[in-house]
Amino acid sequence: MSVHTEVALAGLRLRNPLILASGILGSTASLLVRAGSAGAGAVTTKSITKEPRSGFENPVIYELEYGLLNAIGLANPGMDFFKKELKRAKQLLRIPLIASVAGSRPEEYADLAARAEEAGADAVELNLSCPHVKGMGLDVGHDPKLVREIVEAVKGSVNCPVLAKLSPNVTNIVEVGKAAIDGGADVLVAINTVRAMVIDVDSKKPVLSNKYGGLSGPAIHPIAVRCVYELYEAVGDTVPIIGVGGVMDWRDAVELMLAGARAVGIGTALYTYGLKAFKVILKGIVNYVKEQGFRNLMDITGLAHKYS
């Protein structure tokens, strides 16, 4: 029995549900193309801001046995430069190209999204959740009213699908998700990294130059599952959800899909296992779906709710 792997996502057609998550291998056209060639169903750029950002001073990444702690500081070359990479990637890719943008005001997000679409992006992802940069990401994404205003502004500036990337570092992720939907978001992305900190007991100081960072990897996977489950319970199939957070193998991906995710973002697994992770994880999902007697990967989306 063959299994249909294609996934529909707000007008986008993905050959499979695995998406290169923002922040991993998304800094150049060549890296985005490599992810596509390795088997991704879609690719997301790193978050792009209006002006170039050098980010924080080293050390900015700290490896833990249960994940990664990072405070890159949204380092990027700025939209003026990155538009060239978007145009080149669009010419070479045969899968959807998602541009992640980060700002501090609705007008700034709207301008960045419009320029990304003009450069060839098939969709834009709004970074409303970076946990370690003042004035951006979580600093705007924790406020439901502001989230709605940002999404509304972006929807008024583009014709492509708009993805709202949410943070787990809020009191009620469903409230923020509904605000994004009220603003017109076509897709919810859950979750970004979890605000965290590690102190070196020998030096007696934080291991990151920024002190605080975003925790990713296996440690946050149960949090991601909970967030996706809560969002799906609240919105059902009305707005598709991309589940992101600590996906290291096919079981992690299936867990997010059962919780309600239609597609799954892959990040830390690539850092650990390399680009082969896409094909290995997809093979496992397909085998699971086949063993369960389904013919379509989308058949397992939200299935856990029927057994809860």
Q: Known catalytic residues?
A: 130
CA distance 304 to 68: 29
d(CA 125, CA 189): 8
Tell which phi-psi region holds residue 67, choosing left (phi > 0), alpha (psi between -120 and 50) or beta. left
Nearest alpha carbon to residue 192 among 52, 308, 70, 78: 70
Q: How many CB atoms lie within 10 A of CB 232?
A: 28
Strand extents, DSSP E, 197-279: 199-200, 205-206, 213-216, 241-244, 263-266
Residues counted in the chain: 308
Q: Residue 293, Cβ neighbours under 10 Å: how many? A: 8
